């Protein structure tokens, strides 16, 4: 068998050019694929970096130039969720004592289910704290490290120096007897309403014509803006026990996205708020002006004129009230509304009652309920109870803070609405 020699294939310039073009295309495709992969990973990395680092440094609000960062706000959103949960559990506890708290429970559940509501509450709290902190600086008010430590210890039931014993005592007050003028206006056969209550005691039919709107359920105490407190223990509580309890609490807070720094800032803000409140409300009086009055309520101006004429002519007020007054709750006791302070009645009625002289049959006053013919039977100042005084101070502080807020330069960055963190695992919405 003869060997056949193969003739080598000629490689032309055209063939070489085609091979080179193919290699260039392959390198281009590989480069594009690698670039796409790098781009995807870069975008993912930037997204992670932006959400977990860069974005957290961005402001959600500025209060007179002081920046509230996204990180601060996000942690406070989680704190606010725990506070709402604490409020819900408190409402349930009240329910067990026969107090209807269903409305409060529904309101709390609704807030917990709405991320924007929780986010707004946390933002409002941070803005308020910034304002209080700035005003405290102006007043030279500070919180020491020792005060902060003692506040945290007391929140967890640890009192190394012993619990404080309240020293406040009830203010003695001698109830005045009826003057001769009052005895003439209000004969001893009548039984006046119990003296000096913060609001009129309701009769069988509440007097809706003069009193403020009554909430059908008893209001719960306003909760202090602090994280959930530790569960009480029956064993002797030592410093070691406190440290252990506190360490466990910190770990639980960390799992909810709340750092110790944020936890301590909440306690510090509460201390600072109380100190500023004390300074701002130092001049709040410890007494309250009250009047004792009775009235007759009618529908129109003409009838009010007839009723006033009858009273001026000497007709017995109680009898006229029973005959003409459409406020049946007070009519059955001769129109008597008892003693009341400011804020208990509608504005038109209140202004007239507090400006009238004792015994005067006032010119009919119109309110949203009709026309009132008022006679004032007593006018005096009384000491406030501890709860009344604290309520007065809180009201005065709130009004002061609203004024400070109105004068402040507050800038809110609406991007926060897209950044509300999800609730901690196990808490739900």
pLDDT digits (tens, 9 = 90+) for 318-333: 999 999 999 999 999 9
Quote the pLDDT of residue 237: 73
Quote the pLDDT of residue 82: 92
Give me the mean pLDDT over the 96-113 stretch.
90
Q: Is the pLDDT of residue 48 over 90?
A: no
DSSP, residue by residue, 390-422 = HHHHHHHHHHHHHHHHHHS-EEE-GGGGG-PPP
Quote the pLDDT of residue 220: 39
> Helix 301-312 and helix 317-324: axis angle, to 10°?
160
What is the band of 188 on the pLDDT scale with cuts at 50, 70, 90? Answer: low
The label of the residue with tokens 């005895």 reads 183
Quote the pLDDT of residue 44: 65
Q: Is the pLDDT of residue 234 over 70?
A: no
Q: Is 376 helix (H, G, I), strand (E, B) or coil?
A: strand
Q: How many CA atoms lie within 13 A of 69 on its CB side?
A: 11
Quote the pLDDT of residue 305: 95
Which pTM does this prediction carry? Answer: 0.67
Give me the mean pLDDT over the 112-122 stretch.
94
Lowest mean pLDDT among 72-81, 232-241, 280-289, 350-359: 232-241
Quote the pLDDT of residue 136: 97
Q: Is the pLDDT of residue 347 over 90?
A: yes
Angstrom distance (rounded) from CA 90 to CA 76 = 21
Lowest mean pLDDT among 183-187, 274-278, 308-312: 183-187
50-79: pLDDT as tens digits: 555 567 899 999 999 999 999 999 999 999
Q: How many CA atoms lie within 13 A of 22 on its CB side?
A: 6
Angstrom distance (rounded) from CA 397 to CA 358 = 33
Angstrom distance (rounded) from CA 316 to CA 325 = 13
What is the band of 135 on the pLDDT scale with cuts at 50, 70, 90? Answer: very high
Percent of the chain with pLDDT over 90: 59
Angstrom distance (rounded) from CA 309 to CA 314 = 9
Angstrom distance (rounded) from CA 337 to CA 349 = 12
What is the band of 395 on the pLDDT scale with cuts at 50, 70, 90? Answer: very high
Number of Cβ atoms within 10 Å of the Cβ of 145: 8
Which is it for the CA torsion 136, 139, 145, 150, positive or negative? Answer: negative
258-280: pLDDT as tens digits: 999 999 999 999 999 999 999 99
Q: Is the pLDDT of residue 426 over 80?
A: no
2-25: pLDDT as tens digits: 455 555 555 566 666 677 777 777
- What torsion, rounded to 10 degrees, do the Cα atoms 339, 281, 153, 70 define? 110
Mean of per-residue pLDDT scores for the chain: 82
407-425: pLDDT as tens digits: 999 999 999 999 999 987 7
Quote the pLDDT of residue 356: 95
Quote the pLDDT of residue 224: 47
Quote the pLDDT of residue 200: 41
Q: Is the pLDDT of residue 194 over 80?
A: no
Q: How many helices (H) and strands (E) does the chain have?
A: 14, 7
Token pair belonging to 428: 């739900």
Quote the pLDDT of residue 8: 57
Quote the pLDDT of residue 429: 54
Give me the mean pLDDT over the 37-55 stretch.
61
**Do residues 160 and 153 make contact, with C-beta atoms less than 8 angstroms apart?**
yes
Q: Is the pLDDT of residue 296 over 80?
A: yes
Percent of the chain with pLDDT over 70: 75
Higher pLDDT, 102 or 29: 102
**Do residues 338 and 194 make contact, with C-beta atoms less than 8 angstroms apart?**
yes
């Amino acid at each position: 068998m003869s060997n056949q020699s193969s003739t080598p294939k000629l490689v032309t310039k055209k063939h070489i050019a085609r091979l080179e073009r193919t290699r260039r295309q392959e390198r281009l495709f590989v480069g594009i694929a690698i670039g796409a992969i790098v781009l995807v990973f870069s975008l993912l990395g930037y997204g992670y970096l932006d959400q977990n680092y860069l974005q957290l440094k961005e402001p959600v609000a500025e209060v007179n130039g002081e920046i509230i960062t996204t990180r601060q706000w996000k942690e406070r959103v989680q704190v606010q969720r725990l506070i709402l949960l604490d409020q819900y559990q408190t409402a349930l506890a009240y329910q067990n004592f026969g107090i209807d708290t269903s409305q409060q429970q529904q309101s709390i559940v609704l807030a917990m289910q709405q991320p924007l509501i929780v986010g707004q509450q946390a933002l409002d709290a941070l803005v308020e704290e910034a304002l209080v902190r700035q005003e405290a600086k102006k007043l030279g008010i500070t919180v020491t490290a020792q005060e902060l430590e003692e506040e945290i210890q007391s929140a967890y039931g640890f009192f190394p120096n012993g619990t404080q014993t309240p020293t406040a005592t009830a203010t003695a007050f001698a109830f005045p007897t009826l003057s001769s003028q009052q005895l003439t206006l209000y004969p001893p056969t009548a039984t006046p309403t119990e003296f000096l209550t913060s609001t009129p005691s309701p009769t069988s039919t509440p007097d809706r014509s003069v009193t403020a709107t009554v909430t059908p359920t008893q209001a719960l105490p306003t909760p202090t803006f602090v994280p959930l407190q530790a569960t009480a223990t029956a064993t002797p509580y030592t410093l070691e026990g406190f440290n252990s309890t506190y360490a466990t609490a910190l770990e639980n807070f960390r799992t909810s996205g709340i750092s110790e720094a944020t936890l301590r800032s909440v306690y510090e803000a509460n201390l600072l708020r109380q100190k500023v409140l004390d300074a701002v409300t130092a001049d709040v009086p410890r007494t309250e002006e009250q009047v004792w009055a009775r009235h007759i309520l009618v529908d129109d101006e003409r009838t009010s004129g007839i009723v006033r004429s009858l009273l001026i002519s000497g007709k017995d007020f109680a009898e006229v009230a029973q005959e003409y007054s459409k406020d049946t709750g007070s009519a059955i006791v001769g129109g008597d509304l008892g003693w009341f302070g400011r804020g208990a009645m509608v504005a038109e009625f209140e202004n007239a009652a507090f400006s009238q002289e004792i015994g005067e049959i006032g010119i009919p006053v119109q309110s949203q309920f009709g026309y009132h013919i008022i006679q004032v039977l007593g006018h005096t100042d009384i000491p406030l109870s501890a709860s009344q005084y604290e309520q007065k101070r809180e009201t005065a502080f709130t009004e002061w803070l609203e004024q400070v807020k109105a004068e402040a330069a507050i800038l809110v960055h609406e991007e926060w609405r897209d950044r509300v963190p999800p609730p901690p695992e196990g808490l739900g919405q």
